[in-house]
Amino acid sequence: MITFYPGPSKVYPQVANYAAEAVRSGLVSLNHRSAGFMDIVRETMQLLHTKLAIPDHYHIAFVSSATECWEIVAQSLTAETSLHPYSGAFGQKWAEYAYRIKSPINLTDADVLCIVQNETSNGTQVNMAALANFRNDFSGLIAVDAVSSMAGVTFDWTLADVWFASVQKCFGLPAGLAVLVYSPAALARAEAIGERDHYNSLLFIHENFAKFQTPYTPNGMGIYCLMRVLQQIPPIADIDAIIKRQAADWYNFFEQDMANSPFRLLIDNPAVRSDTVIAVSGSEADIKAVKLTAQQAGITLGNGYGNWKNTTFRIANFPAISEEEIGRLRKFFVNYPTPTPKGGA
């Protein structure tokens, strides 16, 4: 079965071997404060800096999920309240979650701006030019949910103070681990707030990762597999070029090759279309039929989400998905039967 589901999505095939290595080597039994495990944490953090071009002065930590990062931002980095402009379901969920922790009493006093860089629910994205505008207009911290784009496209990391992503998308790994990247300004804010009431308080996390340790028993298997994947992949600039070319090809495909099909791109404005999640719309009946037919052909399309649950399917454009698999999906669409209009021959 080939999967184009946009998360959890396809893992790199090498991950099976990496997981076996972790078991055979005894890594999964290592104490998380042992020298051997600290070496793995150190190597993984350095590879993230190198392969993803993360500035040296930005800090890195590992947590369980992007949802946990929402919590960390609200607990440890928000003094008054946060501001959440959003275009889809995940941005809305982040706002609702954050406001349960820090009530939005007066949004004019917001000291953290929370942006979903890639809105997986509808295939939109905030590009770096738009993020630069936010940076110019907002004087507080900027936190970016980059779940569906980190390790797939390049970022100007300096345009935000916090970036985070779970690994089950562009990193090509199983779920259960997230990468948290934060600037010196974010750390200074955490120190000013001084929040230490939770197991995942950022100050507690930072103090441990500064020693290449984790504040609690971590997903050791996940960290090891992340290290091995980072060793295998090319620099992010190379990946970015491939992903953006493939995205352009997908959008051209649906606008031109599939012009007579019952499917249309959900997002009309090319400037805000995602590079890593392509959202395609149609009638509820057509969407249901194409997903079922694809499944019978050994291909899993992503379901719609939120307001678009029944009238869209989504295609992951993540680095672990091969060109051969993309070609097979395109062939499926080209050969997919176009319904005959009522009254037609």
Task: Please check whether residue 343 lies inside any domain of the structure.
Answer: no
CA–CA distance, 131 with 135 (Å, rounded to integer)? 6
164, β-bridge pairs = 145, 180
Same domain, yes or no: 133 and 112: yes
Residue 315 backbone dihedrals phi, psi, to 5 degrees:
-120, 120
Same domain, yes or no: 116 and 164: yes
Amino acid at 21: E
CA–CA distance, 69 with 144 (Å, rounded to integer)? 10
Last residue of a domain, one of 211, 232, 253: 232
Determine how β-strand 302-303 pairs with β-strand 59-63.
unpaired
Q: pLDDT per residue over 100-150, tens digit each?
A: 999 998 888 899 999 999 999 999 999 999 999 999 999 999 999 999 999
CATH assignment of the domain containing 207: 3.40.640.10
CA distances from 45 to 16, 102, 114, 201 (A): 22, 31, 24, 20
CA distances from 327 to 257, 312, 331 (A): 14, 21, 6
Amino acid at 215: P
166, β-bridge pairs = 178
Percent of the chain whose pLDDT exceeds 70: 98
Same domain, yes or no: 217 and 244: no
CA distances from 214 to 31, 41, 146 (A): 11, 9, 22
* CB 311 within 8 Å of CB 283: yes
CA–CA distance, 312 with 7 (Å, rounded to integer)? 16
The vertex-8 CA angle with 56 and 18, nearest 5°, equals: 65
Task: Please check whether residue 345 lies inside any domain of the structure.
Answer: no
How high is the pLDDT of residue 101? 96
Task: Please check whether residue 342 lies inside any domain of the structure.
Answer: no
Query: Does this model's pTM top 0.75?
Result: yes
Task: State the residue for tokens 């020298």.
Answer: 35
Same domain, yes or no: 181 and 227: yes
Same domain, yes or no: 239 and 169: no
Task: Please check whether residue 151 lies inside any domain of the structure.
Answer: yes
- In which residue ranges of the chain is pLDDT below 50? 340-345
Same domain, yes or no: 74 and 148: yes
Same domain, yes or no: 118 and 194: yes
Residue ranges making up the domain that contains 280: 2-6+235-335
How high is the pLDDT of residue 343? 43
How high is the pLDDT of residue 329? 98
Same domain, yes or no: 202 and 252: no
Task: Please check whether residue 183 lies inside any domain of the structure.
Answer: yes
Number of domains in the chain: 2
* CB 163 within 8 Å of CB 151: no
How high is the pLDDT of residue 339? 52
Same domain, yes or no: 31 and 61: yes
Task: Please check whether residue 37 lies inside any domain of the structure.
Answer: yes
Same domain, yes or no: 182 and 201: yes
Torsion angle of the four alpha carbons 86, 87, 90, 96, in this order, in degrees rounded to the nearest 10: 40
Last residue of a domain, one of 182, 197, 232: 232
How high is the pLDDT of residue 341? 46
CA–CA distance, 299 with 1 (Å, rounded to integer)? 6
Task: State the residue for tokens 């120190």.
Answer: 191
CATH assignment of the domain containing 254: 3.90.1150.10
Task: Please check whether residue 303 lies inside any domain of the structure.
Answer: yes
* CB 96 within 8 Å of CB 84: no
Q: pLDDT per residue over 216-262, tens digit each?
A: 999 999 999 999 999 999 999 999 999 999 999 999 999 999 999 99
Same domain, yes or no: 177 and 218: yes
Best CA proximity match to 320, nearest among 181, 173, 134, 158: 173
Last residue of a domain, one of 232, 260, 295: 232
